[in-house]
């Protein structure tokens, strides 16, 4: 019997959301326990800050410029390599339960398999997963979860935030404060998608024989907006008792002073002059968001993170009951973060900062592997997950993988990690490339989107953890900036040629 792999992802979860990473609000004892007995990566960084490129990197082990999914709206090619397929070819049972999103989501015509499976009454196979049951951020009947909710008595699908609202802007407010994409949702907790994902994982695991090796991707749609957890759970965290998040400057004037130091589309987003089409509702204006609305969004997010932690605990209990704990590796991470009030902003988009780039990443190796607990500060990326899965399975890492297996202690020699952004809309035309190294993060802007290619950002993450002081134009740091930019260019792989086409917006 080999080692089994439970790969747990969330959607749009910040590094500092977990107790083990300094989180002070949401109670996350299950993941904190995995971190205490395993490896916690303090500088894990994604290779893109939105869903589809990041998820495509996790399944391929490749940079976005290699697999070709440079933005939401660019489907991962059907013939793209898949670590799930590689494991399955070598005897692993494979499943993905929850959010996939390697293909555009709002696909009413069913152009892509992810959006046809539920309508066809199918659970796969697809992309190397022999079993798939899919969910997104509400009970839309394009995916298995939406079909299932609509089959339950009570018409609970009406209670969620409606992603297809009447005006198509998805900017409706709700809750106590009228915050954007917040809604009080009376759905019973057992019908909410977080518990549904855990239920489906447990059901799939129960189909397996005791001696089988398996790779299960358990993919929670939360805490991605809209923020509409079950109303029965809102008493866990009261927004009225919350301070503003540490990354919020505290007032509109303070927000503007900080954003004025950054390239122009940051302040333009705050003032509603840049629509941020690729990261949130197009008509959302952060400057109009009240401080209480920031608090309520944060409270909803903390509640969702607690529910995820508890759902994971149920799955781990079932794994233990099956006698598998000793030989099961557990990973917990996300695709990208959330601004969540930092700089006075919300959602995600072409804003390369820790709120979106820095990831929670915890690996609890199987106890039988004998790996000592550690906090690893060496930089790692999402493209390092696939080769790690291969090594756990005792397989050679395939040539198509660009990452390397995750280290289990500092001293690995890793120096850098790279994140990219390419706009899918010609009207945006933004091109960002970032490198983290030695406690600094540099972002170079390519020509386009109103920039001439000389603009950028440079932050000292030791002295300026909130990234409020842009030192790109600091003459005393010119040599450092040039060195970091040269390092970035030296380690970027060549872009895919020809570039893949945008086929749908999300």
**Over the stretch 282-309, which tens digit does the pLDDT of each residue have?**
899 999 999 999 999 999 999 999 999 9
- The phi and psi torsions of 421 (rounded to 5 degrees) equal -140, 130
pLDDT greater than 70 at residue 165: no
Rounded Cα–Cα distance for residues 181 and 161 (Å): 7
Rounded Cα–Cα distance for residues 167 and 107 (Å): 18
The pLDDT assigned to 167 comes to: 55
Q: Is residue 297 part of a domain?
A: yes
Task: Encode pLDDT of 333-392 as tens digits.
Answer: 999 999 999 999 999 999 999 999 999 999 999 999 999 999 999 999 999 999 999 999
The pLDDT assigned to 65 comes to: 97
pLDDT greater than 60 at residue 1: no
The average pLDDT across 310-321 equals 98
Rounded Cα–Cα distance for residues 407 and 405 (Å): 6
- The phi and psi torsions of 41 (rounded to 5 degrees) equal -95, 115
pLDDT greater than 90 at residue 505: no
Rounded Cα–Cα distance for residues 487 and 69 (Å): 23
- Which contiguous run of DSSP H or E holds residue 385? helix 385-392
Rounded Cα–Cα distance for residues 375 and 132 (Å): 33
Q: Is residue 269 part of a domain?
A: no
| Percent of the chain predicted with pLDDT > 90 | 95
- How many domains does the chain divide into? 1
Task: Encode pLDDT of 5-59 as tens digits.
Answer: 999 999 999 999 999 999 999 999 999 999 999 999 999 999 999 999 999 999 9
Q: Is residue 174 part of a domain?
A: yes
Query: How is residue 349 written in tokens?
Result: 């988009």
Query: How is residue 393 written in tokens?
Result: 């399975």
The pLDDT assigned to 506 comes to: 84
- The phi and psi torsions of 393 (rounded to 5 degrees) equal -80, -5
The pLDDT assigned to 349 comes to: 97
- Which contiguous run of DSSP H or E holds residue 307? helix 291-321
The average pLDDT across 388-414 equals 98
Q: Is residue 477 part of a domain?
A: no
Rounded Cα–Cα distance for residues 241 and 295 (Å): 9
The average pLDDT across 160-183 equals 84
| Percent of the chain predicted with pLDDT > 70 | 99
The pLDDT assigned to 169 comes to: 63
The average pLDDT across 309-332 equals 98
Beta bridge partners of 134: 98
The average pLDDT across 139-149 equals 96
- The phi and psi torsions of 454 (rounded to 5 degrees) equal -105, -5
Q: Is residue 122 part of a domain?
A: yes
Instruction: Look up the CATH number of the domain holding residue 363.
Output: 3.40.720.10
Mean pLDDT of all residues belonging to the chain: 96
The average pLDDT across 213-220 equals 99
Rounded Cα–Cα distance for residues 245 and 80 (Å): 40
- The phi and psi torsions of 45 (rounded to 5 degrees) equal -135, 140
- Which contiguous run of DSSP H or E holds residue 60? helix 51-60
Side-chain half-sphere exposure of 439, counting CA atoms within 13 A: 6
The boundaries of the domain holding residue 96 are: 4-248+288-417
The pLDDT assigned to 168 comes to: 56
Task: Encode pLDDT of 57-88 as tens digits.
Answer: 999 999 999 999 999 999 999 999 999 999 99
Q: Is residue 490 part of a domain?
A: no
Task: Encode pLDDT of 260-272 as tens digits.
Answer: 999 999 999 999 9
Q: Is residue 497 part of a domain?
A: no
The average pLDDT across 236-245 equals 98
The pLDDT assigned to 364 comes to: 98
Task: Encode pLDDT of 425-451 as tens digits.
Answer: 998 999 999 999 999 999 999 999 999
The pLDDT assigned to 389 comes to: 98
Q: Is residue 439 part of a domain?
A: no
């Amino acid at each position: 019997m080999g080692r089994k792999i439970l790969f747990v992802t969330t959607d749009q979860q910040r590094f500092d959301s977990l107790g083990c990473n300094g989180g002070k609000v949401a109670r996350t004892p299950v993941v904190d326990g995995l971190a205490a007995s395993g490896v916690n990566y303090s500088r894990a960084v994604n290779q893109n800050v939105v869903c589809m490129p990041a998820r495509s990197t996790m399944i391929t082990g490749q940079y976005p410029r290699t697999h070709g999914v440079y933005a939401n709206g660019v489907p991962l090619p059907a013939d793209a390599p898949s670590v799930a397929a590689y494991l399955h070819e070598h005897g692993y049972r494979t499943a993905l339960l929850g959010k996939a999103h390697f293909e555009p989501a709002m696909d009413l015509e069913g152009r892509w398999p992810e959006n046809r499976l539920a309508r066809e009454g199918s659970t796969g196979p697809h992309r190397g997963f022999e079993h798939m049951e899919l969910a997104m951020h509400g009970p839309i009947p394009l995916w298995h979860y939406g079909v299932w909710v609509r089959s339950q008595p009570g018409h609970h699908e009406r209670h969620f935030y409606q992603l297809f609202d009447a005006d198509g802007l998805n900017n409706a407010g709700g809750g106590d404060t009228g915050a954007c994409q917040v809604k009080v949702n009376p759905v019973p907790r057992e019908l909410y998608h977080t518990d549904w994902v855990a239920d489906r994982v447990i059901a799939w695991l129960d189909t397996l024989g005791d001696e089988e090796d398996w790779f299960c991707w358990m993919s929670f749609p939360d805490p991605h907006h809209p923020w509409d957890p079950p109303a029965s759970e809102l008493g866990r965290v009261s927004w009225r008792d919350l301070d503003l998040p540490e990354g919020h400057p505290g007032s509109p004037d303070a927000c503007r002073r900080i954003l004025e130091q950054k390239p122009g589309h940051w302040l333009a987003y705050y003032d509603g002059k840049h629509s941020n089409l690729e990261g949130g509702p197009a008509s959302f204006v952060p400057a109009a968001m009240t401080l209480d609305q920031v608090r309520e969004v944060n409270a909803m997010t903390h509640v969702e993170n607690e529910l995820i932690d508890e759902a994971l605990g149920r799955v781990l209990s079932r794994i233990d009951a099956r006698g598998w704990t000793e030989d099961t590796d557990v990973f917990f991470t996300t695709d990208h973060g959330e601004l969540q009030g930092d700089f006075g902003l919300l959602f995600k988009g072409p804003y390369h900062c820790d709120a979106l780039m820095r990831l929670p990443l915890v690996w609890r190796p199987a106890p039988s592997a004998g790996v000592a607990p550690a906090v690893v500060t060496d930089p790692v990326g999402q493209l390092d997950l696939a080769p790690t899965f291969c090594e756990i399975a005792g397989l050679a890492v395939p040539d198509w993988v660009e990452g390397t297996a995750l280290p289990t202690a500092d001293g690995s020699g890793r120096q850098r990690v790279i994140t990219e952004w390419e706009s899918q809309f010609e009207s945006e035309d933004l091109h960002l490339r970032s490198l983290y190294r030695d406690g600094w993060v540099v972002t170079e802007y390519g020509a386009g989107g109103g920039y001439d290619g000389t603009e950028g950002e440079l932050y000292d993450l030791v002295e300026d953890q909130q990234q409020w002081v842009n030192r790109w134009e600091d003459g005393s740091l010119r040599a450092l900036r040039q060195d970091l930019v040269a390092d970035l260019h030296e380690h970027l792989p060549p872009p895919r040629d020809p570039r893949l086409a945008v086929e749908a917006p999300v």
